[in-house]
């Protein structure tokens, strides 16, 4: 019964694509995020335990990385991730 149900599904919405990544810009943004999160940890982490320092570092790193990728992809017009081709997938 399962093959019959799967055979009747509409596959017109399945798409695949090629995504290109600018590795130089991604590495630069990773390094910038590391430096920024070390600075944020140094400013916000006075007299805190090591677990809290690690949490501050991880949160600051991901917040900086996501915001920098969004800024470069949307505002600067120099994309880190770019969809090169989109095509139907059977």
- pLDDT of res. 42: 95
pLDDT the model gives residue 1: 45
In this prediction the pTM is 0.74
Integer Rg of the chain from CA: 21
Q: Tell me, what's the pLDDT at 17?
A: 82
> Domain map of the chain by residue range?
2-88
* Dist. CA 81–CA 73, nearest whole Å: 7
pLDDT tens for each residue of the chain, 90 residues long? 455 555 555 666 677 888 899 999 999 999 999 999 999 999 998 889 999 999 999 999 999 999 999 999 888 788 898 888 877 776
Q: Can you give the pLDDT at residue 68?
A: 95
* Cα–Cα dist 30/90, whole Å: 36
Structure tokens at 33: 């995020």
Q: Do 40 and 76 form a contact (C-beta atoms < 8 A)?
A: no
Q: Residue 22 is encoded by which pair of tokens?
A: 């600018």
| Residue 8, pLDDT score | 55
Q: 3-state DSSP call for residue 70?
A: helix
Between the alpha carbon of residue 39 and those of residues 16, 32, 47, 75, the distances in Å are 40, 11, 15, 25
Nearest CA to 33 among 67, 70, 77, 71? 67
């Amino acid at each position: 019964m399962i093959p019959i149900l799967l055979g009747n599904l509409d596959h017109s919405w399945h798409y695949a694509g090629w995504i290109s990544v600018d590795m130089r810009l991604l590495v630069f943004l990773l390094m910038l995020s590391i430096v920024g999160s070390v600075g944020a940890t140094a400013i916000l982490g006075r007299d805190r335990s090591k677990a809290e320092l690690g949490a501050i570092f991880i949160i600051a790193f991901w917040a900086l990385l996501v915001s920098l990728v969004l800024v470069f992809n949307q505002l600067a017009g120099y994309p880190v991730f770019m969809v090169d081709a989109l095509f139907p997938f059977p």
